[in-house]
Structure 1
Amino acid sequence: MLAAARRFHATGTDDAAGTREARLLAHARRAELYLLLPPPVP
């Protein structure tokens, strides 16, 4: 996912504000936080 965000930036296919890259990076950060959470207690 991080590679995809960097590819948007590097190839210039992102829009002028960089929102596609920012959206992917935010999604990746949320996924990382989710992985750090302990498993739910049954």
Structure 2
Amino acid sequence: MTPELESENDEAPEEVTFQNARSQAEQNARTRREVAGRNVLQSI
């Protein structure tokens, strides 16, 4: 790992990590909805 990446991780505030986790959860929910929509269309 490069020193630049290490210092970035050390300085990252918890807020940024939380926002990343939240956007990841939103992306997962969106993907589930799209998959569910496809399944409904296929079953018709």
Unpaired runs of at least 5, structure 1? 1-14
- The percent identity for this pair of structures is 12
Runs of at least 4 residues off by over 6 Å: none
Specify the alignment match of 2:30 in structure 1: 28
Q: CA deviation at 1:39?
A: 3.7
Root-mean-square deviation (CA, aligned residues, Å) is: 1.7
Point out the structure with max Rg over C-alpha.
Answer: 2
Q: CA deviation at 1:33?
A: 0.1
Note the residue ranges of structure 2 that are not aligned, 5 or more in a row. 1-14
Question: Any idea what SS the aligned residue of 1:16 has?
Answer: helix
Name the CA distance, whole Å, in 1 between partners of 2:33 and 2:43. 14
* TM-score, scaled to structure 1: 0.51
Whole-angstrom distance in 1 between the partners of 2:16 and 2:29? 20
